Structure formats: C-alpha cells, structure tokens
Structure 1
Amino acid sequence: MGPPRAILLPALLLMLIISDTVDLKSATHQESLAKHALNSSLGFGEIVYISMPDRTDRQDAMTLLASTFGIKLKLIPGVRGSEMSPKAMPDGLYRKTRPSELGCWRAHVNAWRHLLDSDMDTLLIFEDDLDWNPNLKKTMETLSLQMQNSKIRLSEPSDYERANAPYGLDWDVLDIGSCKDSGHPDFKDISQIWDDPDVPDIGVTKQNQLMYESLHNFGLTDADIGKKRLLAPAYLTVCTSAYAITRQGAERLLMAMSYIGFRNAVDTDMSRAFREGRVRGYMLTPPAISQFRIGGSKDTDNRDPGDPRLGRSARKWMVDNMKLDNWEDYRRFKQEKLAKVTEESSLPARG
C-alpha cells in the first residue's frame, strides 16, 4: 500500500509551492541580468567601434551619440589596406579585392584579437557610420530576456551562463546590424518572435525587399511586420554595422577568416562562414542598428546599405534634444519675473 492520501496532498502542495518559488526566483534573476543591457556596454564586456584615424568627424559623431545615450565606446583604429605589408596578406585573397575592403577586414580582425587579449566573455563591435533607435537599450533588454529563454539554442545554458551572461554564450556571432538578411531554407521553422514597439513600420521594411521576404518566410504576415522582431540562426547576412562576438566566436572567426584565409570583404566572408556552418551565428531582424544616411560626407560609405532607417533615428533625436535658444530662454525668464512682480504689486496690502 502507498502512503495515505492525507499525507500525499500536503506533500504535493509543498512541492508546487517550492516549484513556484524556484520559478519566481529564476524569473527575477533573468530580469535582473537583462537590466545589464541598460548599462554603458549594453550588457556586453565592452563596445568598440572601428574608424579610420583621419575620420575625426565620424569620431566626433560617435562620441556625441555615446554621451547622449549613456554608452561607453573604445576606438579601434581603421587600417589602410594599401599600407599593409605584402607578407601580412591573407591566403586566398581575390585579385579584385579593393584596398579599402582589405583594410576593413584587418580592422575587424584587430577587434577580434582585442577580445581574446582581454578577460571578457563578449565584445560588441560597431562601425562608425551607424544609427539606432532612441530606445536601443530597451530593445536590447528585451533581446536579453528572449535569449535567456531561448527556444532555438541547441543546448541548455551552463550555470555560468545563467549567472553571468545576459545574452547567453551559445553563439559565436550575434548580428544586430545587418542591412539585409535571409534565413536558411531548411530551417525556417527555427526562430523566436516577440512584440517590439520600436520595430520600423511595414512601409520602411518593405523598402528592404530581402528582409521583407525573409520575415514572410519565417511565418510573419503583413499584420505582424512593423510590430514584431525575430531572432534566427544567421545564414545570409550583409553588412557588419553592429555585431557581438563571444570568445569562441573570436577564435572561430580568426581561424576561418585569417589563419585559413580571406577572400573579398569581411561581411561577405562572414556570411559565407555562416552558410557553410563554420561559425554559429544569430541574426536579429529587423536589426536594432543600421547605417546612417541623410546626405553628406558623414553618411555610410557602404555601396548597398539596404534601407538605413529604423523608424526613429538616434542621431536626429540627439540633434533635436540639444537644440537651445539661450537668449529666448532669458527673455522668457525676464517676462515671467516681471509678471510675478506685477502680480505681487497688485495684491491688496496686509493690514
């Protein structure tokens, strides 16, 4: 005979209470870990940005953006491919590869080495021609919660990840700034989708045909596009405006795109590594970060940036937020002061 029912029911109730308490503690910890996305490195070990030494105009802009939005950036100097030693040229280089593409590759490789030379788990890499939505930190906090509760990772997170990694550590590359992307044709059922109020509207998304079609291929309808964001295994990606790497990601990228060889352009080779399965990536679409383009020399140099708009621009918000008419403020101050004096003088005298 088993235990009496009078004993089983309280025991079962106690187990349910304990289970609910554990789940609540776990959820609370995840929320606390996701708050790291609100810090000056967006929850990564550090944020670096690549900029040619002579593009002080772009560095000024990046410094302004960082200060305005509470982000800390470290400069990784760009490299002139035409000045690289012939002995440092990677194997497999295409004959038609431009010096600018070679220099861009070298600067990104230097960023990967920067992570491996440190004791950090992750690194977020920016280029200097980017823009983001003013609510970027909230977007990244939501992404952290989604990745902590991932339905698409291949293994359970380790205790270290649960305790310390806002975005997990099961990936090599987390692409949050692709200007065009598409998922693997055999794995369109592997994705994670959530509501995000800061996703660009469908009119903007439709201008990027590849991304628009990709969202449909993952099962989103026109009613979803402009309301939802999606995370999926990276397959075909264009541009390296903003992406994060883990330590194992830096090792794999160095192996695949330097030690073994490099062909043409850093985003092209990275996309090839995704498609061939040599590097494990996730792609966020629509992206949280895109190129900046409103006209002028500060715009992206990318020849095919896709649609650069994000619905709202941090750069435009920054300009509007810093507007000042100092002397108009003083005039208003004087008028208010005069009005107060006039009002006080019109009050009846106290007897």
Structure 2
Amino acid sequence: MVLAASLSNIDFDFIDAVHGEQVLDKVLPPGVGRAIGEPNLGSWRGHLNAIIEVVKRNLTSALILEDDADWDVRIKEQLWDLARSSRALIQPLASDPSKYADATYPIPESSSALPKHDIKFDALPKTVPPKDSVYGDGWDVLWLGHCGMRFPVDGMARAEWIPKGRVIRSQDLSVPEPHNFYSVSSVLDLKDGYGNHTRAVSHAADGICSLGYAVTQAGARRLLHSLGLSPMTGAFDIMLKQFCDGTKGEGPHNCLTVRPGLFQHHLPAGSKAYESDITSHGTDNRDKASSQNLRWSVKLNYKALLAGETDFVDQFPDTAV
C-alpha cells in the first residue's frame, strides 16, 4: 500500500487492524453482536476506529481504504471526473439555484419518480460553486470501492428517499468492456443498459463491500452514531448499505457512488488463503495476480511506474474487431 500510494502521489495514515477476539462484549452496541463472526467483528471495529479519527481530528473529509485495495494509474483524473459528476447531481443549477439538474434531488416526489433523461458527462450543466468540497456540498458518503452496486429504482426498500439521477460518461477508456466487468450484484443494470466503456455516477443503492469510501465530517458523525451506537444489524458493509439506503430505521443519508468502482480488490499471486481474513477463499494457489475492473492497475504496473515508463500493462485490452 505504501508503494502504491507513493507512486500515485497519495499520502495516507495507517489505522491498525483489529482482531475480533479483542473486541469486548461490553463495548458492542445492542443487536447481533458476535453472531456476525469474529473476522467481521474485527473489520467493523477497524472501520469504526478510522471513522472515529475523522471525527476526533475534525477533518473536513477523508478517504478510507481497506488494505487490499488497488486503483488505476489514472486515479487523479478519475477523481476529478467524479467531482464534476457529483457536483452535477447535488449542486443547485447556476441558472436557477432553486433547482437541480436531477429533478429527483434532494428527495423524489414519489418512489417511481425518474429524471427525464441521463445527465451526459460531455454536457454537464453549470452549477453553483460548492462551499465545502470539490465533490459538492451536503454529501455524507462517496462509496468509491465496492463489489457491486445498482441504480436506485422503484420497488427497492425506501426507494422514495433516494434520488434517481445519474451522470453517464461514455467512452471512458479506463473502463473495461462489459464482458470483463466484475460485480457480485444480481442486477447488472450498468453492464446491460449501456455500451462499452461506460462509467456512471449516481446515488448509492444496494451496495456491498466497503473497500473504499470517502466521508465528510458530518457524514462521519452520522456513521459513528448509526454504525457505532445504534443496534448492530450485520457486518460493516451491510450496515453501510443500510445507512445509505435508509433502511436502518433512520432518515435518508446522502450517499453517492461510481461504477465501476475506482478502488478494487487486488488478488495477489500465491496462496488464496491470504486474500481475506473474513471469507475463506481456499488454499489453492493463484498463478497470476489481478485486480478486478482495473485496466492500468497500479499494483500490476510497479515496474513501469518505478522506471518512469508510460507503457502500462492493460489487464483488459479491448477485443479486436
């Protein structure tokens, strides 16, 4: 992680991992408790410790990553594109600050309300400049690394709370072709609904895996209350999903996401037993390292980056026509 971050000009601090056995029963909030398993309990405590640091230091915003994360060589460009897209969804229109490009923001008129059309990345509307964050004002969580996500639609639990707008970027060449797109979600609305090299920014819905996410100070405080003090209803990522979906018995929270995610699991060569402390992946060997959904993976391009080269290994080259 240190080398990957250094080669990407990213500075970060480590938060020590926690073994579930170290978490005392008396500090657990009410709810399922140890039934989620010791590995999940340790993960929950580790994430909570990171969120506590954000609150203690009174940070305006922070990015939290799990230690098996990988990202594309072009991460800075991708984050800038994300900022432009998220502002289009949550900032008032410059032409009329009483309105938004997403007509369903901040709360849809009904669960079935849908914007008339997608917001095209190549024709983003002019919006009021944000006061607090380049990504816009008023967001709680940017869920940037996940195993699967879907667009919020009618029929989902608490769908009436989640804005339905989406920014669509076509021909983002850092996105693999759909047949190489990995997701554990049973709903493949991005893969099936759009063409090659499409990246989408929308409000988060039905997410899984907490590989990487950014929080604002207000969002961190809300997460600390919801996931640290309110009843425990599952593993950390399940409660993060409930926090964003509004299904944890609380009001709506302002969570946005990007698909494919900008941060992905890195699967190193060697024994699969080392891939996760939470889920068993067996003891077979992986002959070749890989990182899901990343074309120019930082961790698979160490040699090129260290040598100052720009001819990068592409995990998912386009299919020859």
Q: TM-score, normalised by structure 2?
A: 0.71
1:197 aligns with 2:173: yes
Q: CA deviation at 1:301?
A: 4.7
Number of aligned residues:
254
The question of whether the paired residues in 1 share the 8 Å contact of 2:146 and 2:208 is answered with yes
* Gap change, CA 1:300 and 1:309, over 3 Å in 2: farther
Larger radius of gyration: 1
Query: What is residue 204 of structure 2 aligned with on the other side?
Result: 234
Alpha-carbon distance in 2 for matches of 1:77, 1:200: 33
The question of whether the paired residues in 1 share the 8 Å contact of 2:39 and 2:278 is answered with no
Alpha-carbon distance in 1 for matches of 2:142, 2:5: 21
Alpha-carbon distance in 1 for matches of 2:132, 2:225: 27
Deviations 1:296-325 (Å, cap 9, x if unpaired)? 3564556499x823122110111343369x
Alpha-carbon distance in 2 for matches of 1:145, 1:131: 23
User: Cα RMSD (Å) of the superposition?
Assistant: 2.8
The question of whether the paired residues in 2 share the 8 Å contact of 1:256 and 1:273 is answered with yes
Of 210, 213, 217 in structure 2, the residue corresponding to residue 243 of structure 1 is: 213
Q: CA deviation at 1:163?
A: 4.2
SS in 2 for 1:282: strand
Of 235, 243, 249 in structure 2, the residue corresponding to residue 273 of structure 1 is: 243
Q: CA deviation at 1:199?
A: 1.3
1:99 aligns with 2:38: yes
Of 55, 65, 69 in structure 1, the residue corresponding to residue 4 of structure 2 is: 65
Alpha-carbon distance in 2 for matches of 1:122, 1:184: 25
Q: CA deviation at 1:134?
A: 0.8
Counting only pairs closer than 5 Å after superposition, residues 308-323 of structure 1 correspond to structure 2 as 308-322=292-306
Deviations 1:13-34 (Å, cap 9, x if unpaired)? xxxxxxxxxxxxxxxxxxxxxx
* Gap change, CA 1:164 and 1:248, over 3 Å in 2: closer
The residue type equivalent to 2:173 in the other structure is P
Query: What is residue 134 of structure 1 aligned with on the other side?
Result: 73
The residue type equivalent to 1:313 in the other structure is S
SS in 2 for 1:162: coil
Deviations 1:258-305 (Å, cap 9, x if unpaired)? 111213210011112222254321111111110001433564556499
* Gap change, CA 1:89 and 1:189, over 3 Å in 2: closer
SS in 1 for 2:153: coil
* Gap change, CA 1:163 and 1:263, over 3 Å in 2: closer
The question of whether the paired residues in 2 share the 8 Å contact of 1:181 and 1:211 is answered with no
SS in 2 for 1:76: coil
The question of whether the paired residues in 1 share the 8 Å contact of 2:86 and 2:256 is answered with no
Counting only pairs closer than 5 Å after superposition, residues 1-351 of structure 1 correspond to structure 2 as 62-150=1-89, 151-152=101-102, 153-154=105-106, 162-186=130-154, 189-195=164-170, 196-205=172-181, 207-208=182-183, 210=185, 213-215=188-190, 220-221=193-194, 224=195, 226-275=196-245, 276=247, 278-296=252-270, 299-301=275-277, 303=279, 308-322=292-306
The residue type equivalent to 2:174 in the other structure is D
* Gap change, CA 1:117 and 1:191, over 3 Å in 2: same
Alpha-carbon distance in 1 for matches of 2:143, 2:280: 18
Alpha-carbon distance in 2 for matches of 1:139, 1:113: 28
Gaps of 5+ in 1: 1-61, 325-351
Q: CA deviation at 1:240?
A: 0.6
The question of whether the paired residues in 2 share the 8 Å contact of 1:199 and 1:311 is answered with yes
* Gap change, CA 1:296 and 1:263, over 3 Å in 2: farther
Alpha-carbon distance in 2 for matches of 1:96, 1:269: 15
Alpha-carbon distance in 2 for matches of 1:322, 1:211: 39
Alpha-carbon distance in 1 for matches of 2:34, 2:52: 26
The question of whether the paired residues in 1 share the 8 Å contact of 2:70 and 2:264 is answered with yes
